[in-house]
Amino acid sequence: MFDDDSIFGQLGRHATLPFANARMLPLEAYRSTEMLNAEIADLFGNDWLCVARTADVPQAGDYITAEIPTSTGQRSLIVIRSALGDINVFDNVCVHRGAELLNGCGNENRITCPYHAWVYRLDGSLAGGPYMLDSVEADGTPFDPSRHALNALRTEIWEGFIFVSQADDPTPLGNRLSGLTEVVGRFEMDGYVPVHEAVDVWDTNWKLLVENFMDAYHIFKVHKDSFGVNGDGTQYTTMYPGTADWAHHRVAEPGGDLCHESNTSLEGEWRSTIVLAAVFPGFVIQLQPDWLWFLRITPLGTDRVRIAWQVAVAPEMLDAQANVESYIAEVMDLIHLVNSEDHPIVEGIRRRVQNPQFERAPMSYLERNVYDFDRYVSTRLGH
Ligand code: FES
Ligand SMILES: [Fe+2]
């Protein structure tokens, strides 16, 4: 069954490796177009994908646009809050003749198409279009706006993150993530206030970026001037085995306190605990008592990755600042520094796996979550 040399056969064999024998994925997995196509179709096409946070669209009519990958290219979505307060996600395309409806972010009472001014309500239903009185439906009856709504995607909200699924009948996300909810629920991160967002494109394979984010091994070395500036905190890191849908580890410095005193929901060690979590395929978060950093990682090619990321701050932390701007600038300086430290490493690996001149070697216990993510990829795509 596992005797073929294709990348999928190699992955099938890789999926059987116990953690004790962990290696990085077969190197072809980072450069193969066949592999990329399978990832987009089977992973991004079937699993839940984060598109935004509820805090990005706080008021009725607030919207943002987002992109997710499909086998035919990027799919553009509108995430919008309805008059009733619920959040809908629609394809960002007018059903009349395909114009893109919205750009960026903003607030609208109605969505009016920029091409011929068809007007949609916030629930996606079509209110009508001008000069259509003489038009008829395919069955000859008069043009009926109620037959032409925006295409809605299946949506679920988890801890303030808005997820969509492109699958026909996906397992509810809340069920898949129940174990992770037990860990992160106490942080009440849905209330964290967004302070910065950006979209970057790096020249590397998307999997190298997920692996890097979840790699607790490189912190003491790559991030010695940022996260590790006060010494090697690796000894405070606890690794936990991942599941089929997510993985995480925690860093908790004894006696540390990242929490503002007015925060009464985090107790004991949790007041200094940092959680690094991945929801497969490409959603990763660094959650702290004081702030949250999350990345939506999607492939643009085997050697190009789109990173849509945001930083949000715990509300009591923001309230407590005498100078909010300088506090945010301090957090952002740290994160920009961390990004600049990771950037050359993950781009360098992508260059070196193109014409590899090495045999893959064993991993450290601190790479447990890299193994978990690689097992997800190899189990799902291998045969
Ligand atoms: S394409 Fe939108 S109204 Fe014509
Ligand atoms: Fe890093």
| pLDDT at 199 (0 to 100) | 97
Q: How far is the CA of 117 from the centre of ligand 1 (A)?
A: 6
- Cβ neighbors of 104 (< 8 A, separation 6 or more) are 64, 65
Ligand 1 neighbourhood includes 365 CB (under 6 angstroms): no
Q: What is the pTM of this model?
A: 0.96
* Residues 196, 133 share a domain: no
Is residue 78 located within the same domain as residue 117? yes
pLDDT in the model for residue 362: 98
User: What CATH number is given to the structural domain containing 214?
Assistant: 3.90.380.10
What pLDDT is recorded for position 3?
63
Q: Is there a single domain that holds both residue 116 and residue 213?
A: no
The domain that holds 107 is classified in CATH as 2.102.10.10
pLDDT of residue 216: 98
**What's the rounded Cα separation, in Å, for the pair 327 and 324?**
5
- Encoding tokens for residue 224? 């010695």
- Tell me the backbone φ, ψ of residue 157, rounded to 5 degrees: -105, 130
Residue 166 domain flag = no
Distance between Cα 308 and ligand 1 center (Å)? 29
The verdict on residue 302 lying in a domain is yes
- Torsion angle of the four alpha carbons 91, 94, 97, 99, in this order, in degrees rounded to the nearest 10: -90
CA of 233 from ligand 2 middle (Å) equals 14
> What tokens were used for 269?
């060690």
Could you tell me if 303 and 237 lie in one domain? yes
Which pLDDT score is estimated for 187?
Answer: 98
- Predicted local distance difference test score (pLDDT) of residue 1: 52
Among all ligands shown, which has an atom nearest to the Cα of 339?
2
Give me the residues paired with residue 334 across strands. Answer: none
Nearest atom of ligand 1 to the alpha carbon of 97:
1
Query: Under 8 Å CB-to-CB from 185, ≥6 apart: which residues?
Result: 159
DSSP string covering 151-218, please?
PBPEEEEETTEEEEE-SSSPPPHHHHTHHHHHHHGGG-GGGPEEEEEEEEEESS-HHHHHHHHT-SSS
Tokens at residue 124, please? 């996606």
66 in a structural domain: yes
Q: Is 113 in the pocket of ligand 1 (CB under 6 A)?
A: yes
> From ligand 2's centre to the CA of 297, what distance in Å?
14
The pLDDT of residue 257: 86
Do 122 and 269 lie in one domain? The reply is: no
Nearest CA to ligand 1 atom 3: 116
Clarify whether residues 85 and 232 are in a common domain: no
Total tally of structural domains belonging to the chain: 2
Q: Are strands 291-301 and 273-279 parallel, antiparallel or unpaired?
A: unpaired
Q: Are residues 236 and 358 in the same domain?
A: yes
Minimal-distance CA residue to ligand 1 atom 4 = 116
Ligand nearest to the CA of 120: 1
118 in ligand 1 pocket by Cβ < 6 Å? yes
Distance between CA atoms of residues 147 and 139, nearest Å: 12
Q: What is the domain range of residue 56? A: 50-156
Is the CB of 126 inside a 6 Å radius of any atom of ligand 1? no
How many angstroms separate the alpha carbon of residue 193 from the centre of ligand 2? 24
Last residue of one domain, picked from the residues 136, 156, 176 = 156
CA-wise closest residue to 296 among 39, 69, 62: 69
Atom nearest to 99 CA in ligand 1: 1
Listed as ranges, residues in the chain with pLDDT below 70 are 1-3
**Could you tell me if 232 and 111 lie in one domain?**
no
